[in-house]
Structure 1
Amino acid sequence: MRALDLVSDPPTDTIRLSGGYLDEPIMPIRALSASFERAARRPGAWGRPPVDGDVALREWFARAIGGVAHDEVLITNGGQSALSIAIRTLTSPGQPILIESPGYLAAISIARTHGLQIVPVPVDEHGLRTDLLDDALLRTGARVVVVQPLFANPTGTTLSAARRAELFDALERHSAFAIEDDVARHLSIDGPTPPTLMSEDKSGNIIHICSLTKGITPGMRVGALCAHGPVYLRLRAAKTLDDLCVAGPVQAAALDFLTSTAYPRHLRTIARELGRRRDTLIRELAARLPNTQPVCIPRGGMHLWTRLPAGADPDAVGARALAAGVLVSSGVPWYPAEPDGPHLRLSYGCSDIEHITEGVRRLASVV
């Protein structure tokens, strides 16, 4: 499965320009270690936590997300687990589901594994083409849309204000749900971020997912799955069957870190470092590969969606790049149907400036 290729380890001397997590120098290792030490000493830390999650942690997520109460927040083992639970709970095998094209590879893989009929909805530099939603929902009968409205993976796009309004209108007209995959919110680079869709949901059409994994460390597998009304109980039942609960010490450590002074300091570090790395990648591509073109300049996240010259084969470019010592992601698997052109997803969060510069040099030798 192509999704598994992205988490396979390349040779040790390979420069990573593909990856979904921060590299270790950006991770708040010292502060997290202290949080885990304190959490492990908490009374009852090693007992079985509530199925829904630690109450104080749920309250923190509710405040951060907006528009939900703590008893509408379910703590999960990261964002991908939450996404799988949401998709499987809201659909049955054989049913249609709307997914961005290009869109998040894990969402595509989960939908395929669950036996769903994927209906691709195009994405441009302003995010999901919401002007196409009415037709897609009416034509297919789909009642679930998966959307990454903020710093989408792989495109880096953010859904515009006008399209957010169109999305809400379409969902209400068709009594449909949108699964808001908001795992990149901690990765803001350029200024304040728009509010969550969940915080503006007036009709109960949004299922919200967020995670600490992308913005802190891959070892911090703590996420939240939020919903209003009876659907929350369905999500809770599905989650309980999957893994019962998230480990108590992990939840306690997460809460300790999030409520410490280390957390806002870490967010400032992310913004500074990701900004420098993004700008370096864009500058090096312009200098060494002027025949490539970023689809947009992301204001956050860690990915640059880059169009290759016409006629290029992204899979072949990816294979040649790996042989030259740089890991990139072909754009092909990020499309649930036929690609609209040759692209690479280039990541700037998993390598430092020196390696990004050398990685682009190696990539330029094979494009």
Structure 2
Amino acid sequence: MSQDSTTRIAVGIRAWIATAPPGARLPSNRALVAEHSASPVTVQKAMRTLIDAGLVESRPGIGTFVRAVRATRPADYGWQAGALGAPPARLSALSSTQRSVAPDAIGLHSGYPASDLLPERAVRAAISRAARSSAAITRSPVTGMPELQEWFAHELAASAPSGVTPPAARDVLVISGSQSGLSSIFRAVVGPGQPLLIESPTYWGAMLAAEQAGVILVPVPSGPDGPDPDEVDRALERTGARAFYAQPTFANPMGGQWTAEVADAVLEVVRRRGAFLVEDDWAHDLAIDADPRPIAAHDDDGHVIYLRSLTKSVSPALRVASVIARGPARERILTDRAAESMYVSGLLQAAALDVVTQPAWRTHLKSLRPQLRARRDLLRDSVREHAPTAHIETTPKGGLNLWARLPDGTDAALVVREAEARGLIIAAGDEWFPAEPSGPYVRLNYSSDDPGRFPEAARILGDVLDAVAG
């Protein structure tokens, strides 16, 4: 189909919108394909022009709807440019993982698992019970519900070897998602203008939190087995940094896991240097081919500040996580959290505690592992068959994502745009690097909706790569 066909379809939909009330739902993309005898790509392009024009809005998982058109003059916000000044670099746009997509698109960009991989029945029942409890009308302690503190402490203590004093419930701070915990740690423990070692590549949200806190990022190369401990040591000595942010278990985006030898060596380095390891155990419950091995379980002198979140494994609606820290570091983080949010909703804490203490929780985790493995392998094999130039450097041992290296010289941003025009939404790898990327990458989420479309997604990616290369 030509550009004229895209324009013709867009004009036809505009005419329909002109007679439809605000909020009316548009026909599905499949219906428009049939009505206009057009390809899905052409309909997608036509729909994108209407979204860009502000005539319709897409609500993922629901449909596309007519926007309410305001007849009043556009607001003038020009004065804010002088008041706000230049934005920090990473605040200029949302992460590609956060953008909304058309309902018929194949979304492999998100950082969250599909709802069918979550304990939905348990979550709904727990929220209902929590709503009938005193948690619905009382204030939670600033450090969190004592029972939930105890659960987080017990979970980490279960991995502690003999001879290591495990954390106590008093060492636990319940927080509203690990992102808020990162912000507090970077402000309270590192401080503005101070250096922070960080793996490269790494979680984009950690870099955002660090930059908002005014922290100076110091990249340390990392691979599927973790960073070189000697490089960590040299970086600490060279920069004078007193903290190293890392994801030793199923790192985002690569899915790798530090070897036991690397973990022991890095822990010894931070001990010798008098530094902190900020261990982000975001994927603790998302194991596939290996069990999690928290480094914090081997630390009893306060060098490891440990984050554990339930958002990805229980429900995105229950933003409950914890920070486990000891000594003055805990007090500084607690003071920062109290100033920012005062306390976490007791209703959410009660619901989260209910879910993870039910027998069904362990059953769910056992069933989750083979489901993630099947989806991971299906997407990996589909990419290898239909998009062989998107090289998957390692099969992740856990987590939610494949990390694919594109051919040298490929414009990853262009690949993402062209894929979206064909109905596939993926994320360019640039935003996972704290400095210049080491090469062109894309991240593909294998825990997304409708794995039956993974082969179709891989074919689109392969076609795009062929077209870009040509």
TM-score interval, normalised by the smaller of the two chains: over 0.9
Number of residues paired by the alignment? 366
Of structures 1 and 2, the one scoring higher in RCO (CA 8 A, sep 6+) is 1
1:247-283 CA deviation, whole Å, 9 max, x = no partner? Answer: 1111111111111122112212321211110000111
In 1, the alpha carbon distance for the partners of 2:118 and 2:308 equals 18
Conserved? CA contact 1:128–1:147, under 8 Å: no
Q: What's the counterpart of residue 177 of structure 1?
A: 276
Whether 2:168 is the aligned partner of 1:78: answer no
Conserved? CA contact 2:135–2:350, under 8 Å: no
1:179-223 CA deviation, whole Å, 9 max, x = no partner? Answer: 1000100101124332x1111014311000010001122111000
- Of the candidates 129, 145, 155, which is equivalent to residue 38 of structure 1? 129
Paired residue secondary structure (1:304): strand
Q: What's the counterpart of residue 97 of structure 1?
A: 196
Whether 2:142 is the aligned partner of 1:51: answer yes
Aligned-pair distance for 1:60?
0.5
In 2, the alpha carbon distance for the partners of 1:285 and 1:293 equals 8
CA gap 1:121/1:191 in 2 versus in 1, 3 angstroms? closer
Q: What's the counterpart of residue 121 of structure 1?
A: 220
RMSD, aligned CA:
1.3
In 1, the alpha carbon distance for the partners of 2:414 and 2:212 equals 26
Conserved? CA contact 1:189–1:300, under 8 Å: yes
Aligned-pair distance for 1:165?
1.2
Paired residue secondary structure (1:179): strand
Conserved? CA contact 2:135–2:347, under 8 Å: no
Paired residue secondary structure (1:224): strand
Conserved? CA contact 2:129–2:351, under 8 Å: yes
Q: Tell which deviates more after alignment, 46-55 or 86-95.
A: 86-95
Structure 2 gap segments, 5+ residues each = 1-90, 158-165, 466-470
In 1, the alpha carbon distance for the partners of 2:335 and 2:276 equals 18
The structure that has the greater radius of gyration is: 2
Q: What's the counterpart of residue 216 of structure 1?
A: 314
Whether 2:119 is the aligned partner of 1:20: answer no
Structure 1 gap segments, 5+ residues each = none
- Letter of the structure 2 residue corresponding to residue 7 of structure 1: Q
Conserved? CA contact 1:75–1:222, under 8 Å: yes
1:130-172 CA deviation, whole Å, 9 max, x = no partner? Answer: 2201110111111111000000001111011111011111101
- Of the candidates 251, 255, 260, which is equivalent to residue 349 of structure 2? 251
Whether 2:393 is the aligned partner of 1:295: answer yes
Identical aligned residues as a percent: 38
Q: Tell which deviates more after alignment, 81-90 or 146-155.
A: 81-90
Q: What's the counterpart of residue 203 of structure 1?
A: 301
Q: What's the counterpart of residue 439 of structure 2?
A: 341
Q: Tell which deviates more after alignment, 51-60 or 262-271.
A: 262-271
In 1, the alpha carbon distance for the partners of 2:229 and 2:352 equals 35
Conserved? CA contact 2:320–2:352, under 8 Å: yes
Q: TM-score, normalised by structure 1?
A: 0.97
**Equivalence map 1:213-292=2 (5 Å):** 213-292=311-390
